[in-house]
Amino acid sequence: MERRPQKHLLLILARELASNLATPTLIADAEGTLVFYNEAAEEIVGRPFTEAGEMPVDEWTRAFEPRAPTGEPLAAERRPVRIALDEHRPSHQTMRVTGADGVERDVAVTGFPLFAHSEEFVGIVAIFWRE
């Protein structure tokens, strides 16, 4: 299967779901590469995914300077995206971010892992809820 790479079927299905959601949603693969975010997330990011392309998910997250609601920086290991990637478990966290438009927003982020039939970890989904 090295001939031509293909995304895991679960990621393909997750992308189709995310494409139809009005809620900002991102998808990363098992290696932590951001492979898709939807139109709703474009509002926060400031540019479409087709323009941004794939990138390490931490790089994407850093751009928003995630902070605790009280203002102090939020360590990576407390962020739902990292928890889902590293610990393969769901988590939920309220945080403050600065969007591409420079506006501060309080959002709640839910991150959860995706497992294929045989417990094979294939990636994560993170959903951003506006507070």
Tell me which residues touch other proteins (CB under 8 A).
1, 3-9, 12-13, 15-16, 19, 116-118, 120
As measured in angstroms, the least distance from the Cβ of 11 to other proteins is 8
Q: Closer to other proteins at the Cβ: 7 or 105?
A: 7
As measured in angstroms, the least distance from the Cβ of 10 to other proteins is 8
Q: Closer to other proteins at the Cβ: 104 or 120?
A: 120
As measured in angstroms, the least distance from the Cβ of 26 to other proteins is 15
Q: Closer to other proteins at the Cβ: 50 or 70?
A: 50
Q: Are 113 and 124 in contact (CB under 8 A)?
A: yes
Q: Which amino acid is at 85?
A: L
As measured in angstroms, the least distance from the Cβ of 99 to other proteins is 27
Of 131, 116, 129, 117, the closest CA to residue 11 belongs to 116
Burial of 36 (0-12, 13-18, 19+ CB in 10 A): buried
Q: Closer to other proteins at the Cβ: 26 or 97?
A: 26
SS3 of 130, please? strand
